[in-house]
Structure 1
Amino acid sequence: MHAALAVHPASGNGAAERLMESVAARLRPVVDRLDVLVAHTVEESRALMTDSRAAGLDVLVVLGGDGAAHQGVQFCAESGVALGLVPAGTGNDFARALDIPERPHAAADLVARRIAEGKRRRVDLGRAGGEWFATVLCSGFDALVTERANRLTWPRGPRRYDVAILAELAAFRPRPVVLRTDVETLELDATMIAVGNTPFYGGGMRICPGADPEDGLFDVTVVGNATRRDLLLMLPGVRSGEHTAHPAVRTLKAAQIHLAGSDLPVYADGEPVGRLPLDVTCVPGALTVVG
């Protein structure tokens, strides 16, 4: 068994770097070879992963946050290399969706146990703009919030998103959007659209509460022409998924989606993937995960 531990030292404000040795120590007893790949940039990370794959990599374990997990997904999708996650970031939404413990050492112990037992499962991924994504793709208000949150250095953790939400509320207005699926077409003034492969984004917000990464379909949450007051009333329920009961919210399922109508930014797994228009596809079983 050849495994690699990909470490993004800056994840979690340096938590990943501090945890690197202790996590590696938990993995070494269950594998024949463990490469520790420390990368400070996306390009460096991809180069190190490619070198390990050339040496016959079986499992890639990512120590970091959702940005690090996103890079691991790009590498492992449709490759046969299984992905394991040890969360050490500020959001950790993909790990949360896979029921991986929040505490890094508990997560590392779980990943090690599953490697030893040979447990694997296949999960769906989304594909958009040449990028894979594992959690949620969003456009509109929530994409603008993500854009702003990524620029903030304070506060740390999910509270960054709360600050970004309040800042974006002051300026945002609904935009004309066309949403075409393999089943129906919607033309509306939309506040936001979230396409969920898994339920969570923004550090545990259950924006697409019914999303299941093993059903071959996206869960789509569409917030129509909502006022600022509507959004303020709706936002507390996003943590629990209760926002879907609001009259401005519509949910649907689809495997193929075309989004157009406004030049809005699009984010997936918290990473920029371009602007509208954009085609989004659910690819069943595209990723093998340890578990």
Structure 2
Amino acid sequence: MTAHDLRGGTVPAGGLADGPVAVLANPTAGRGRHRDLLPAILDRLSATGRDVRLLAADSAAQSRAACAAAVAEGAAALVAVGGDGTVHQALQAVAGTDVGFGPVPAGTGNDFAVDTGFPAEPLAAAQAVADALAAGRTRPVDLARLSAADGTVSWYGAVLAAGFDAIVNERANRMRWPRGPRRYDLAIVVELARLRPRRYTLRLDGRPVDVDAVLVAVGNCASYGGGMRICPAADPTDGLLDVVVGGRFSRPALMRVKPSIYRGSHVLHPLVTTYRARTVELAAEGITTYADGERSAALPVTITAVPGAVRLLG
């Protein structure tokens, strides 16, 4: 029996193929606080009896290329040790294939791993992945497929940010000073001073919706930014995307509502509207989106929920 491969071929149904386990590790994730755990993580994976191969990569581009090469060369599984950025690069290689995927949360933001049921503690997550490897067990989880205006296609697992949060990220990435988290804090101050609602055009499964908003997020999972439950009802197994729109917020109102995002209660605010759709077309001027915290495509984009696009180990 075979199942459809989202890249256009077929994959074996059930179980995990023979082959090595490729490991992508970001030693700088989480400011390096879990760097010393990598040998123990590799030991747990090796105890399954499979060949474990640590991938060499020093940048996001190299990480993506190394993962793609490992999958092309027959890896049965790919394990990403790091935060959401590391997971994001790895997902580009495994999305739509039968390759098992194991996220081991070791970053500042670990939203995809935690929201899909993995322990937040790295060694516990590594053991869960190892147990699944030993049993040859995977489970299907949805991903979001992002199509840009230039035809480029990518995937994300957690949330696409396309509003104030994305604008702040873009500002912070352009700044050369200060270093560290203070740069992001300063970017927030600068962009708050410039805050204004923008006109967004959405099509939700073909239904047009025009809104003036300061915040737009499209979630496959509930959280981004290290536990901010921006799309609190999102379920990565329901075949749908959750869209959260924060309307014409003033600066004081936006700052007042921000703490409630960690609880997910911001969706009760009268200026917040939520939608659910399989396909979301999103357009606005001057916005570069961020998916899984990584710089992504400029609007307009089309986002499609793809059921069972990745096979998780655990």
1:169-217 CA-to-partner distances (Å, cap 9, x unmatched) read: 2221111111111153211211111000000001100000000011110
Matched residue, 2:28 = 10
Matched residue, 2:91 = 73
Q: From 233, 247, 251, give the equivalent of 1:224.
A: 247
Matched residue, 1:185 = 208
Instruction: Flag the 1:23–1:219 CA change in 2: closer, same or farther, 3 A.
Output: same
Q: Distance in 1 between matches of 2:172 and 2:265?
A: 23
Q: Distance in 2 between matches of 1:138 and 1:46?
A: 21
Matched residue, 1:41 = 59
Matched residue, 1:265 = 288
CA RMSD, 1 decimal: 2.0
Q: Distance in 1 between matches of 2:139 and 2:65?
A: 26
Q: Does 1:27 align with 2:53?
A: no
Q: Distance in 2 between matches of 1:47 and 1:274?
A: 19
Amino acid in the other structure paired with 1:125? L
> Does the Cα contact within 8 Å between 1:175 and 1:191 map onto a contact in 2?
yes
Q: Distance in 1 between matches of 2:42 and 2:312?
A: 18
Q: Distance in 2 between matches of 1:186 and 1:155?
A: 36
Amino acid in the other structure paired with 1:63? V
How many residues in Structure 1 have an aligned counterpart in Structure 2? 288
> Does the Cα contact within 8 Å between 1:260 and 1:278 map onto a contact in 2?
yes
Matched residue, 1:208 = 231
Matched residue, 2:112 = 94
Amino acid in the other structure paired with 2:246? V
Q: Does 1:139 align with 2:165?
A: no
Amino acid in the other structure paired with 2:143? L
Matched residue, 2:263 = 240
Q: Distance in 2 between matches of 1:188 and 1:81?
A: 40
Instruction: Flag the 1:84–1:263 CA change in 2: closer, same or farther, 3 A.
Output: same
| SS of equivalent to 2:181 | coil
Structure 2: unaligned runs, 5 residues or longer: 1-17
Amino acid in the other structure paired with 1:283? V
Amino acid in the other structure paired with 2:289? V
Q: Which runs of 4+ in 1 moved over 6 A?
A: 160-163
Deviation, structure 1 residue 265:
1.5
Instruction: Flag the 1:215–1:238 CA change in 2: closer, same or farther, 3 A.
Output: same
Amino acid in the other structure paired with 1:19? L
> Does the Cα contact within 8 Å between 2:71 and 2:94 map onto a contact in 1?
no
Instruction: Flag the 1:50–1:184 CA change in 2: closer, same or farther, 3 A.
Output: closer
| SS of equivalent to 1:48 | helix
36-45 or 102-111: which moved more? 36-45
Q: Distance in 2 between matches of 1:119 and 1:155?
A: 39
Amino acid in the other structure paired with 1:78? G
Matched residue, 2:15 = none
Q: Does 1:155 align with 2:178?
A: no
> Does the Cα contact within 8 Å between 2:116 and 2:236 map onto a contact in 1?
no
Deviation, structure 1 residue 24:
0.4
- Relative to the length of structure 1, the TM-score reads 0.92
- Relative to the length of structure 2, the TM-score reads 0.86
Structure 1: unaligned runs, 5 residues or longer: none
Q: Does 1:171 align with 2:211?
A: no
Instruction: Flag the 1:266–1:86 CA change in 2: closer, same or farther, 3 A.
Output: same
| SS of equivalent to 1:201 | coil
Deviation, structure 1 residue 276:
1.4
Q: Distance in 2 between matches of 1:67 and 1:153?
A: 19
Q: Distance in 1 between matches of 2:160 and 2:70?
A: 29
Q: From 97, 105, 124, give the equivalent of 2:142.
A: 124
> Does the Cα contact within 8 Å between 1:136 and 1:197 map onto a contact in 2?
yes
Q: Distance in 1 between matches of 2:184 and 2:308?
A: 31
> Does the Cα contact within 8 Å between 1:3 and 1:31 map onto a contact in 2?
no
Q: Distance in 2 between matches of 1:148 and 1:108?
A: 35
Q: Distance in 2 between matches of 1:162 and 1:240?
A: 21
Amino acid in the other structure paired with 1:229? P
> Does the Cα contact within 8 Å between 1:207 and 1:238 map onto a contact in 2?
yes
Amino acid in the other structure paired with 2:202? L
109-118 or 83-92: which moved more? 109-118
Deviation, structure 1 residue 21:
1.2
> Does the Cα contact within 8 Å between 1:9 and 1:38 map onto a contact in 2?
no
Deviation, structure 1 residue 82:
1.0
